Amino acid sequence: MEHKEHELPAGEQDNPKHRPIRSFVLRQGRLTEGQRKALEQWLPVYGVAYQPEPIALDQVFGRAESPKILEIGFGMGDSTAKIAQVQPERDFIGVEVHTPGVGSLLKLVGEMHLENIRVIQHDAVEVLQHMIPDASLDGVHIFFPDPWHKKRHHKRRLIQAAFVQLLCSKLKPGAYLHVATDWQEYAEWVLEVLQGEPQLGNTADTYAEKPDYRPLTKFENRGIKLGHGVWDIIFTRK
C-alpha cells in the first residue's frame, strides 16, 4: 500500500452540496488472481455485509467475552493478519473500502487459518454510525490513515472531532484508540483532536512508544532507515 496522498480523479472536485466529504477516494485497482480467488472463496465466510443497523458482535464471531477490536482502513491487511495471529483470544473487525485490499486480507486469513477476523467492505464512518453497537469495542486501530497533505483537503482527514466523538460512543470504558502515522503534521493534528475530546485520556505525555503488538510494516522499515519518523498515539476512554 502506497502511503502517498490519493489524487482526486478528474471530475471529483470537492462540492459539499453534492456529496458527503469522504476520507477516501475509490480507486479501480487491479485484482491479482490470488485476491480474486480469495474474495470468491472467503468473502462469503469471513465477510460481513454492510447493514444500516447494529450487529451482535458476539454472534458474528460465534463466541462471547472475547475482546473486540475494530481496525479502520487496513490497506492490504498485513498488520491485521499478523496481530490477529498472535492474539487468538481477541476478535478483529477490519473495515476497508478498497477491493484489492479486502482480497489481500482474505487471502491471508485463508492461508493463515485465522478464525478471529471478519471483514466489512464499506465506509468506516457509516459502519460506526449504524452497525457497531454503543460501548461494544475494546480497542480501535487506525494505522497510517491517509494524511491528506494539502490544506484544502484537510477536511477529508478521517480524524476529526465529530468522528472521534462517534468513536468514543462505541468504545467501552477503559478501551483504547491507537492511531499511527508517518506524517508529523498529521500526528500533531491527531494529538490535538484527541486531547480535545473530554471522554479520552492520553496513555503517554504526548506520543506513545510503539507497542509490540503493532508490527513494523515494510514501508515503515524503509522509512526508518531513511531517518523518517513514525508517531503512535494511544488514548483510552474514561
Based on the shown chain and the rule CB under 6 A, indicate whether residue 23 belongs to the binding site for ligand SAM: yes
- Which amino acid, one-letter code, is at 62? G
Based on the shown chain and the rule CB under 6 A, indicate whether residue 103 belongs to the binding site for ligand SAM: no
Among 35, 55, 73, 128, binds ligand SAM (CB under 6 A): 73
Based on the shown chain and the rule CB under 6 A, indicate whether residue 75 belongs to the binding site for ligand SAM: yes
Based on the shown chain and the rule CB under 6 A, indicate whether residue 139 belongs to the binding site for ligand SAM: no
Stretch that binds ligand SAM, among 50-58, 111-119, 137-145, 199-207 (CB under 6 A): 137-145
Grid coordinates representing 93 are: 473487525
Stretch that binds ligand SAM, among 7-15, 144-152, 163-171, 204-212 (CB under 6 A): 144-152
- Which amino acid, one-letter code, is at 183? W
Crossing angle (nearest 10°) for helices 99-112 and 33-46:
70
Among 42, 61, 92, 143, binds ligand SAM (CB under 6 A): 143
Which residues participate in the annotated binding site for substrate? 150, 182, 217-220
Among 98, 107, 118, 170, binds ligand SAM (CB under 6 A): 98
Map grid coordinates 493534528 to a residue. Answer: 189
Query: Alpha-carbon distance 76 to 14, whole Å?
Result: 27
Among 125, 171, 194, 233, binds ligand SAM (CB under 6 A): 125
Residue 60 is inside which H or E element, if any?
A: helix 57-61
Based on the shown chain and the rule CB under 6 A, indicate whether residue 94 belongs to the binding site for ligand SAM: no
Paired with 68 in beta bridges are 91
Which residues participate in the annotated binding site for S-adenosyl-L-methionine? 71, 96, 123, 146
Nearest Cα to Cα of residue 26 among 6, 3, 49, 5 = 6
Least distance between ligand SAM and beta carbon 76 (Å): 6
Stretch that binds ligand SAM, among 39-47, 93-101, 110-118, 198-206 (CB under 6 A): 93-101
Residue 41 is inside which H or E element, if any?
A: helix 33-46
CA angle 25, 128, 168 (to 5 degrees): 115
Among 104, 118, 123, 132, binds ligand SAM (CB under 6 A): 123
User: How many CB atoms within 10 Å of residue 40?
Assistant: 11
Q: Which residues are catalytic?
A: 146
Map residues 156-195 to x or -, x wherever contact with ligand SAM holds by CB under 6 A: --x-------------------------------------
Q: Interface with ligand SAM by CB under 6 A: which residues?
A: 1, 3, 23-24, 72-75, 79, 95-98, 101, 123-125, 143-146, 158, 217
